[in-house]
């Protein structure tokens, strides 16, 4: 589920519940996520206020009043849910309704944040590829999880010149290059496929072919950057894509999956105007790629 648009959607959903609120209580039901939560995880959260909730690539970053930053990643199947008790409902009653509402998913609700605002924020992750880690803010620049990340694709630093430089001389496919978080941070399997289709570039094309030998951008790089920015912007506007899990923090669904042009559309007609091609599925680096061999060159 979670690529940049989904994570950004989650961030916006969590913001009202968490920003400015204090962790009144933190429950860890299962600490063995991608790696075990630190022993002092709860202690470093409880009593601290969230001063800001940001995002870097697919990571959520909660700044705390203690000077720590809580880093959260959704992995493949992670989601957050915000339960907001009605104003007149007391704490115990709210808890009861929360557990009732969440009963069917309780086995995968690994962490629950009880915020001073009354909101209860749960982290649910069946596959447990998600993760949480707390580091002091000053150490963030050196944080191994974040250190090697490429630029934010919606930021000013991400342009054709930069992308061409990063792809210069790369022996791998364009698809593999774009999914590499060191080249550009936040794209995943879905949005790489969608962006390449919009740019009419084949996922099999050598990454180096979007740059001149000296590393300058060519027309392909320009188109690709435009396509990436557009597809991400469109997806965020639609609340991301919901495939197998929902992801909006109120339990609702993202809508962008209805606008996929190639992803998960094997055998269906290409959606490029004037193209009569058929979407094909291939495997690259062990993952599915969807593309139109007719209009993507």
Instruction: Based on the shown chain and the rule CB under 7 A, indicate whether residue 243 belongs to the binding site for DNA.
Output: yes
Catalytic site includes residue 147 = no
Is 2 catalytic? The answer is yes
Is 22 near DNA (CB under 7 A)? Answer: no
287 tagged catalytic: yes
Q: Which helix (H) or strand (E) holds 24?
A: strand 23-28
3 makes contact with DNA (CB under 7 A): yes
The DSSP element (H or E) to which 122 belongs, if any, is: strand 120-124
Active-site position among 22, 44, 48, 58: 58
Binding DNA (rule: CB under 7 A), the pick from 24, 28, 42, 76 is: 76
What number of chain residues touch DNA (CB under 7 A)?
41
Q: How many Cβ atoms from other residues are within 10 Å of residue 127's Cβ?
A: 12
66 binds DNA (CB under 7 A): no
List, in order, residues 6 or more apart from 73 with CB less than 8 Å away: 34, 58, 59, 60, 130, 131, 132, 145
Interface residue with DNA, options 81, 84, 197, 247 (CB under 7 A): 247
Least separation in angstroms between residue 181's CB and DNA is 5
Check if the beta carbon of residue 267 is closer than 8 Å to that of residue 278. Answer: yes
Footprint of DNA on residues 184-213 (CB under 7 A)?
A: 188-190, 207
**Is 118 or 239 the residue whose CB approaches DNA more closely?**
239
Residue 62: CB atoms within 10 Å: 24
Q: How far is the CB of 203 from DNA (least distance, A)?
A: 12
| 98 to 117: interface string for DNA, x by CB under 7 A | ---------xx---------
User: According to the binding rule CB under 7 A, does residue 244 interact with DNA?
Assistant: yes
Q: Which residue from 81, 114, 133, 170 is in contact with DNA, where contact means CB under 7 A?
A: 170
Q: Give the per-residue SS3 of 37-89.
A: CCCCHHHHHCCCEEEEEEEECCEEEEEECCCEEEEEECCCCCEEEEECCCCCC
Q: Which residues contact 266 (CB under 8 A, 6 or more apart)?
A: 279, 280, 281, 290
- Provide the binding-site residues for DNA, judged by CB under 7 A: 1-3, 6, 34, 57-58, 73, 75-77, 107-108, 126-129, 145, 169-173, 176, 179, 181, 188-190, 207, 240-245, 247, 285-288
């Amino acid at each position: 589920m979670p690529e940049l648009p989904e994570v950004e959607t989650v961030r916006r959903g969590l913001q009202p519940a968490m920003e400015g609120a204090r962790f009144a209580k933190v429950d860890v039901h299962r600490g063995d996520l991608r790696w075990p939560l630190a022993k002092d995880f709860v202690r470093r959260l409880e009593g601290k206020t969230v001063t800001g909730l940001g995002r870097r690539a697919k990571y959520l970053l909660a700044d705390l009043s203690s000077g720590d930053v809580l880093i959260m990643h959704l992995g493949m199947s992670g989601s957050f849910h915000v339960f907001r008790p009605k104003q007149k409902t007391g704490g115990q009653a709210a808890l009861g309704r929360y557990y009732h509402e969440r009963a069917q998913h309780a086995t995968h609700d690994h962490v629950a944040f009880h915020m001073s605002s009354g909101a209860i924020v749960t982290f649910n992750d069946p596959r447990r590829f998600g993760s949480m880690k707390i580091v002091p803010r000053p150490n963030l620049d050196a944080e191994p999880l974040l250190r090697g990340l490429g630029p934010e694709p919606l930021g000013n630093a991400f342009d054709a010149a930069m992308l061409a430089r990063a792809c210069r001389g790369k022996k791998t496919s364009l698809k593999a290059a774009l999914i590499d978080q060191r080249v550009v941070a936040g794209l995943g399997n879905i949005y790489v496929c969608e962006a390449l289709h919009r740019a009419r570039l084949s996922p099999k094309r050598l990454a180096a072919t979007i740059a001149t030998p000296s590393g300058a951008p060519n027309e392909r790089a320009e188109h690709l950057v435009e396509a990436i920015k557009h597809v991400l912007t469109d997806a965020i506007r639609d609340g991301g894509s919901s495939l197998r899990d929902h992801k909006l923090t109120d339990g609702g669904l993202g809508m962008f999956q209805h606008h996929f042009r190639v992803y998960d559309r094997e055998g269906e007609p290409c959606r490029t105007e004037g193209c009569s091609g058929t979407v094909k599925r291939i495997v690259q680096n062990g993952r599915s790629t969807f593309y139109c061999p007719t209009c993507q060159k």
